[in-house]
Amino acid sequence: MSDVIIIGGGPAGAAMGSYLSMAGISNTIFEGSHFPREHVGESLVTSTTRVLGDINFLETMEREGFTHKYGASWHPPTGNEFSVVFKEFPQEGIHQDYTYHVERSKFDHLLLQHAEKLGSKVYQGVPVKQVLFEGEQAVGVRVNLDGQDTDFPCKVVVDASGRGTLLGRQLNLKKKDPIFDQYAIHAWFEGVDRGTGPSHEYIHIYFLPVERGWVWQIPINDRVTSIGVVIEKEVFKQSKADLSEFFNKHTMMNPDLARAIKNARRINEFKREGDYSYSMDKFVGDGYVIIGDAARFVDPIFSSGISIALYSAKFASEHIIKALETGDFSAVAFEPYETRLRGGVQVWYEFIRLYYKLLPLFTHFIQSKTHREQVHRLLQGEVFDREEVPVLQAMRDYIQKVEETDSHIFKQHLSSIPLD
């Protein structure tokens, strides 16, 4: 019997297993699918390096040759591309000036194997059916093992089931985001013209002349590029176009992108993602914690998901380790984790909301001497344990000024997103 059972072997679950095993705590990961399995979310932010370093996984990242990501470029539909280069503002505790783009099937598989090597017991192809409770206290899980329902008791259950949101659904904790209801269509391509300059291995984000519409271009390796169109779900529903038509029409809307993919050839099926912005009412309870996408998901415009997943594992593991020392497995013992994670994710959320509210503001702030470093810090994923984030207030104040000034050049760019 393990002290801790982890539901899901994605980045959040595998990082949790790694942290616990390194602390000498017995843990079992039940992963419902068989790895390698495909997954969306292929570009990391630099703060992930800290966690990958903690669990001694950076050597594997280098050995396996994941593409180095040194920066990011944005392309408004009117041209005038602009970029950030990560080395401009070094980060505390991080000793490389790049992060990575990852083929998720390979990255997730290696990370799960890493957790196993460190001591996690890993079952694949074993979905958890439900978390078992005695009163309010989580006491184990029921899995389907070789076609039979089998119960596994434990002291702490960690839900890392991603957008499967197992506990959120079981306990009815899941709330859809009131603002964002985006939809993504993506595939891999060969023959994308990424240029030859330093930006050829950056992530490229192309703005579309459609509210909340954008496209990612992520270099998976020398040959393969991931491209995804993100749009409001309602816009997709109303268009009645099939995936291919919709994708082609929207990628033609940004001239830089149209040029980059002129000779590109799709090499796998289109995939779609929807209904992905939500939060659970709570991330902890007696005997359980919820981490990664299973706890909360914010819009992926700034590639924040894996960073949040890894940090949630790091923070929650600290409280699980403590709980095993003290014997206190109550919700109260885990609450500091929830506060810390919510605080950081809320910074991402505000940044994303202000970004979508007034697109040219982001362009303006990132190029301004006063705000550039602060915007970089957010893009790096430095969102946790912050007492204040002055740049977000400055963005709000600026938006208010635009709203109040009819003649402001940005006025026509204000979107319908509410600020509160």
Instruction: Give min distance, CB of 34 to ligand FAD, in A.
Output: 9
Q: Enumerate residues 6+ apart whose C-beta is below 8 A from 289.
A: 156, 157, 158, 159, 283, 316, 319, 320, 334, 337
Does 43 participate in binding ligand FAD (rule CB under 6 A)? yes
| CA dist 258 → 255, 264, 312, 419 (Å) | 5, 10, 38, 33
Within residues 280-299, the interface with ligand FAD by CB under 6 A covers: 292-294
Encoded one letter per residue, x for contact with ligand FAD by CB under 6 A and - for no contact, window 139-178 reads: ---------------------xxxxx-x------------
Instruction: Give min distance, CB of 178 to ligand FAD, in A.
Output: 18
Q: Does 36 sit behind a cis peptide bond, omega within 30 degrees of 0 on the bond before it? A: yes
Instruction: Give min distance, CB of 401 to ligand FAD, in A.
Output: 32
Instruction: Give min distance, CB of 277 to ligand FAD, in A.
Output: 9
Name which position in 4, 5, 6, 10 contacts ligand FAD (CB under 6 A): 10
Instruction: Give min distance, CB of 35 to ligand FAD, in A.
Output: 8
Strands 265-266 and 67-69: unpaired
Instruction: Give min distance, CB of 22 to ligand FAD, in A.
Output: 18
Q: Enumerate residues 6+ apart whose C-beta is below 8 A from 409.
A: none
Amino acid at 255: P
Name which position in 6, 17, 28, 41 contacts ligand FAD (CB under 6 A): 41
| DSSP reduced 3-state for 74 | strand
Strands 271-274 and 278-280: unpaired
CA–CA separation, 8 vs 211, rounded Å? Answer: 35
Does 279 participate in binding ligand FAD (rule CB under 6 A)? no
Does 131 participate in binding ligand FAD (rule CB under 6 A)? no
Name which position in 70, 107, 206, 276 contacts ligand FAD (CB under 6 A): 276
Does 115 participate in binding ligand FAD (rule CB under 6 A)? no
Name which position in 40, 179, 235, 331 contacts ligand FAD (CB under 6 A): 40
| CA dist 360 → 76, 194, 413 (Å) | 9, 24, 7
- Contact criterion met (CB below 8 Å) for 206 and 227: no
Does 13 participate in binding ligand FAD (rule CB under 6 A)? yes
DSSP structural state of residue 411: G
Helix axes 390-404 and 359-366, enclosed angle (nearest 10): 130
Question: With respect to ligand FAD, which residue has the nearer C-beta, 8 or 287?
Answer: 8
Name which position in 7, 118, 354, 392 contacts ligand FAD (CB under 6 A): 7
Encoded one letter per residue, x for contact with ligand FAD by CB under 6 A and - for no contact, window 70-109 reads: ----------------------------------------
| CA dist 420 → 282, 341, 349 (Å) | 21, 21, 12
Does 195 participate in binding ligand FAD (rule CB under 6 A)? no
Site of tokens 């990082």: 15
Instruction: Give min distance, CB of 13 to ligand FAD, in A.
Output: 6
Does 127 participate in binding ligand FAD (rule CB under 6 A)? yes
CA–CA separation, 83 vs 255, rounded Å? Answer: 17
Name which position in 273, 286, 335, 403 contacts ligand FAD (CB under 6 A): 273
Does 184 participate in binding ligand FAD (rule CB under 6 A)? yes
Does 30 participate in binding ligand FAD (rule CB under 6 A)? yes
> Which helix (H) or strand (E) segment is 75 a member of?
strand 71-75
- Which residues in this chain contact ligand FAD in the complex, by CB under 6 A? 7-13, 30-33, 39-44, 127-128, 160-164, 166, 184, 273, 276, 292-294, 300, 303, 305-307, 309
